[in-house]
């Protein structure tokens, strides 16, 4: 495989994992408003969505691994099994984003 093609494919894997990381990390904070009290003002409450925290860690590790893969690919040719592993890691990152996005949110 030519060097330019290796770099483009590895960059695509990295970009996909980075976008999945942004999607998952954006779902960490949950905001809700409590019922108005005696003063008639509803207070803003913020909670942490734990599945999004786990998904963020998974996606961040996948992004770091794919960044390392991109750096190795720019330097030399890698074995075919590393491409399979990097594709699997990219798919895992996207799967984590999909699972967190479809997870049930707590009801306050």
Show the tokens assigned to 27.
Answer: 């779902």
Please give the Cα distance from 35 to 46 (Å, whole number).
14
Show the tokens assigned to 14.
Answer: 């990295």
pLDDT value of residue 108: 66
pLDDT value of residue 31: 84
Q: Is the pLDDT of residue 74 over 80?
A: yes
What angle do helix axes 50-75 and 80-102 make, rounded to 10 degrees? Answer: 160
Q: Closest Cα partner for 63 from 3, 22, 33, 108? A: 22
pTM of the model: 0.84
Please spell the DSSP secondary structure of 16-39, one letter per residue: HHHHHHHHHHTTSEEEEEPPP-TT
Q: Is the pLDDT of residue 13 over 70?
A: yes
Among 15-19, 48-52, 60-64, 72-76, where is mean pLDDT lowest?
A: 48-52
């Amino acid at each position: 495989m030519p060097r330019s093609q290796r770099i483009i494919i590895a960059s695509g894997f990295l970009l996909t994992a980075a976008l999945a990381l942004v999607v998952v990390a954006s779902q960490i904070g949950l905001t809700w408003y409590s019922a108005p009290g005696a003063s008639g003002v509803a207070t803003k409450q913020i909670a942490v969505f734990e599945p999004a925290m786990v998904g963020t860690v998974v996606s961040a590790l996948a992004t770091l691994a794919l960044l390392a893969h991109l750096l190795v690919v720019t330097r030399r040719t890698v074995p075919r099994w590393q491409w399979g592993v990097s594709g699997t890691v990219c798919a895992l990152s996207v799967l984590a984003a999909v699972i967190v996005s479809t997870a049930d949110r707590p009801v306050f």
